[in-house]
Structure 1
Amino acid sequence: MAFRRRKSYPVFSQEFVIHNHADICLFLVIVILIGLMFEVTAKNAFIFILPQYNSSLQSLDGEIVYYHYGVKDLVTILFYIFITLILHAVVQEYFLDKINRRLHLSKVKQSRFNESGQLAVYHLVSVFWSLYVAGTEGYLSNPKTLWESYPHVYLPFQVKFFYLCQLAYWLHALPELYFQKVKKEEIPRQLQYIVLYIFHIAGAYMLNLTRLGLILLLLQSVAEFLFHIARMFYFTDENNQKLFNAWAVVFVVSRLFTLTLSVLTIGFGLARAEIHTFNPDKGNFNTLLFRMVVLLMMCVSQTWMMWRFIHFQLRRWREEQAMKKRAALAATTKQQTKVLKRESGFHENGVVKAENGSTPRPKKLKSP
């Protein structure tokens, strides 16, 4: 970042913004943090840093602070977009760029290696974070909490902060397409999964299905982490494809668990709830139409992912068959070359053999 010498570009030019966007974000973050030091600006600075819309509720354990969502969440998400842009640049410059210098990959492989490297780090953090939150909140030990007491309007701090950071990460991926100078033919592919993540995470957050969304994100992150690790090993050596087999098993299992949990929570759990009224003010969307639309969208997204998975596996199978054919052809050509050399004459035990296998007679030297 700022500690590394770079080429100088005209201030506020396109190249200047691209090469110094992390430093610009760091400057904005520091300005917001300095605002905490003064009483006049501290109130506005807290909106950027801390989740808003908190309320205290009485429970058996005493007074507990819970949160719900609102428009001010966009300001908090913006702050964490700046943080994510900085972390993205740190991972890229201090880890991925150093690996790329040793591997000497082509530009296409280098771009995809960087993409998988960033996503592998994100999914690894997401796995441990979502596992910790789900474990401490009791979502794993008691699956009934996924649909009991719906709508889940009031969220614990760690659940709301988790969703805000998830949305910040995927929203930061949109300007990163510009900062990383992604090729035009690569943009539609990356936009597909970025928009899908934003749509599903924001949907779970806005429709008060945060508990189910947290578990589904955990399953998705496990499968995606294995995929991007396997992809990175593949780019270093195309013969390293064993991790793809492990990912294939985990991917199929995660799809089955996703559909099962979605049907169990939305199709059966919410259908047995006491209240079935559409009341956006109270955060209740539990109607028959709502459940059917959500289940339909889940089934469509999972079907699309399975279709992409099958297409990927077929392409891998064709590539493996082509590699086997090339290896067999190379072995056959090498064997034929050996036969031709043996038939046309060769060295054996230090003596040159003729084409018919006999040793040529030495020439007689004339006496002087």
Structure 2
Amino acid sequence: MAFRRRNKSYPFFSQEFLIQNHADIVFSLVIFSLVGLMFETTAKTAVLFIQPQYNISTMSADGEVTLYHYGWKDCATVLFYLCITIILHAVVQEYVLDKVNRRLHLSKSKNTKFNESGQLCVFYLVSSLWSLYVIATEGFILHPSSLWENYPHVHLRFHVKFFYLTQLAYWFHTLPELYFQKVRKEEIPRQLQYVSLYLLHILAAYLLNLTRVGLVLLFLQYLSEMGFHLSRLFYFIDENHHKMFEMWSVGFVLTRMITLTLMFLAVGFGLVVLCLTRRLLVLFMVCFTQSWLLWKFFRFQLSRTRKMRLEQVARKRAAAKHQMQRTLKRDSVGHHENGLIKAENGTSPRLKKIKAP
């Protein structure tokens, strides 16, 4: 199964060979893990990678229910789905984004940003729909107080735990993708910054049993980020699309306000069982992140407004200069000599005869 066109062959296990064929290599590892399920001696090890671990069965009003909690074996599951994510990343890149890029004929810098926004749009769309489904099925929309009631939420349903494991797998997969996609050195710090923030917050929600609040916050964050990257995609397709950025700006600020309000309600007043140190730590982490995002947003908007004003002033000056040049050129078509207008060839224009009264 080939994911990329091979215009040139490279030596085995060379750097270029690994970059060009990384999706095929990872796909082979996934198939190898799935084949392990077919044999009794390797089935237990293969299940460790494929299926979420630490399940317990409890009785409820609906019958027997299987719940999960976290543990160190989750690292193996995250590793397996990290490989799955690398394969899906290559599929989206090869069969969707590359085909669109060939039609748009973008520059190299815009091409890189287009690919980044395209990949993130797909992820944010799937994750926001998935998180909304989990929020609806768990009843958090009709009963918001259930976000902090009966804390700690140690036991999770399958779709909640699987959601968090796949989220961790996706954000961990972005680290090797920096190497596979040959990201420029000046772009690496920016990408490491937001990837680290996502991993920090998702791990904190998962390990501190704040999965319910984390689900809602991730849904809001992904919805806001999807709006930004959709706006950027439409801008690359047609540079006249600016209205979507304005809509995203309003949504971005609203998302920050809702996130801060929800965290104060849930952690500050709802999760009283959580020790004071942890509550303050979680509140500080979320408030600091949201404040930092707002500061970056307002700084970007101010610099953008200043740049637009400078461009507008420069445009007006250029128009005034052009108008002045046209006026001077029109006046220089003829010149005066002894009170008469001389043309460029030196001849005087014919004078009109004045009729006698």
Deviations 1:203-224 (A, max 9, x none): 1000000000000000001110
Structural mapping, 1:21-36, within 5 Å: 21-36=22-37
Counterpart of 1:327 in structure 2: which amino acid?
R
1:332 aligns with 2:320: yes
- Shift in Å, 1:104: 2.2
- Shift in Å, 1:240: 2.6
- Shift in Å, 1:337: 3.8
- Shift in Å, 1:360: 5.8
Specify the SS of the correspondent of 1:64: strand
Kept in 1: contact 2:333–2:343 (CA 8 A): yes
Specify the SS of the correspondent of 1:66: strand
- Shift in Å, 1:139: 1.2
Q: Name the CA shift for 1:36/1:360 in 2 (closer, same or farther; >3 Å).
A: farther
- Shift in Å, 1:111: 1.3
- Shift in Å, 1:5: 3.6
Q: In 2, Cα distance between the equivalents of 1:152 and 1:308?
A: 34
Structural mapping, 1:51-70, within 5 Å: 51-70=52-71
1:173 aligns with 2:161: no
Q: In 1, Cα distance between the equivalents of 2:223 and 2:178?
A: 24
Across the aligned residues of Structure 1 and Structure 2, the Cα RMSD in angstroms comes to: 2.0
In structure 2, list runs of 5 or more residues that go unmatched: 335-341, 351-357
Paired residues, what number? 341
Specify the SS of the correspondent of 1:148: coil
Q: In 2, Cα distance between the equivalents of 1:58 and 1:174?
A: 41
Q: In 2, Cα distance between the equivalents of 1:56 and 1:235?
A: 51
Q: In 1, Cα distance between the equivalents of 2:163 and 2:215?
A: 9
Kept in 2: contact 1:344–1:354 (CA 8 A): no
Counterpart of 1:339 in structure 2: which amino acid?
T
Specify the SS of the correspondent of 1:265: helix
Structural mapping, 1:176-195, within 5 Å: 176-195=177-196
Q: In 2, Cα distance between the equivalents of 1:22 and 1:329?
A: 54
Specify the SS of the correspondent of 1:63: strand
Q: Which residue does 1:8 correspond to in 2?
A: 9
Q: In 2, Cα distance between the equivalents of 1:73 and 1:170?
A: 15
Deviations 1:37-86 (A, max 9, x none): 22222222111111111100111111000000111110000010001101
Q: In 2, Cα distance between the equivalents of 1:355 and 1:269?
A: 89
Q: Name the CA shift for 1:331/1:22 in 2 (closer, same or farther; >3 Å).
A: same
Structural mapping, 1:1-368, within 5 Å: 2=2, 4-6=4-6, 7-271=8-272, 276=273, 286-345=274-333, 354=343
Q: Name the CA shift for 1:359/1:79 in 2 (closer, same or farther; >3 Å).
A: farther
Deviations 1:253-307 (A, max 9, x none): 1111111111101111112xxxx4xxxxxxxxx1111111111111111111111
Q: In 1, Cα distance between the equivalents of 2:31 and 2:298?
A: 47
Query: TM-score, structure 2 length as denominator?
Result: 0.90
Q: Name the CA shift for 1:4/1:172 in 2 (closer, same or farther; >3 Å).
A: closer
Q: Name the CA shift for 1:327/1:268 in 2 (closer, same or farther; >3 Å).
A: same
Q: Name the CA shift for 1:168/1:354 in 2 (closer, same or farther; >3 Å).
A: farther
Kept in 1: contact 2:3–2:90 (CA 8 A): no
Specify the SS of the correspondent of 1:232: helix
Q: In 2, Cα distance between the equivalents of 1:221 and 1:85?
A: 20
Query: TM-score, structure 1 length as denominator?
Result: 0.88
Q: In 1, Cα distance between the equivalents of 2:254 and 2:348?
A: 69
Q: Name the CA shift for 1:335/1:146 in 2 (closer, same or farther; >3 Å).
A: same
- Shift in Å, 1:333: 3.6
Q: Name the CA shift for 1:24/1:73 in 2 (closer, same or farther; >3 Å).
A: same
Deviations 1:172-220 (A, max 9, x none): 0011111111111111111000000000001100000000000000000
Q: In 2, Cα distance between the equivalents of 1:319 and 1:49?
A: 51
Q: In 2, Cα distance between the equivalents of 1:69 and 1:313?
A: 41
Kept in 1: contact 2:3–2:24 (CA 8 A): no
Specify the SS of the correspondent of 1:36: helix
Q: In 1, Cα distance between the equivalents of 2:243 and 2:306?
A: 16
Kept in 2: contact 1:123–1:221 (CA 8 A): yes
Q: Name the CA shift for 1:153/1:327 in 2 (closer, same or farther; >3 Å).
A: same
Kept in 2: contact 1:55–1:65 (CA 8 A): yes
Q: In 1, Cα distance between the equivalents of 2:19 and 2:37?
A: 29
Q: In 1, Cα distance between the equivalents of 2:182 and 2:29?
A: 23
Kept in 1: contact 2:3–2:23 (CA 8 A): no
Q: In 2, Cα distance between the equivalents of 1:355 and 1:256?
A: 71
**Which one is further off, 165-174 or 135-144?**
135-144
Q: In 2, Cα distance between the equivalents of 1:4 and 1:267?
A: 50
Kept in 1: contact 2:4–2:94 (CA 8 A): no
Structure 1's consecutive aligned runs of 4 or more residues displaced over 4 angstroms after TM superposition are 353-356, 358-361
Q: Name the CA shift for 1:181/1:360 in 2 (closer, same or farther; >3 Å).
A: farther
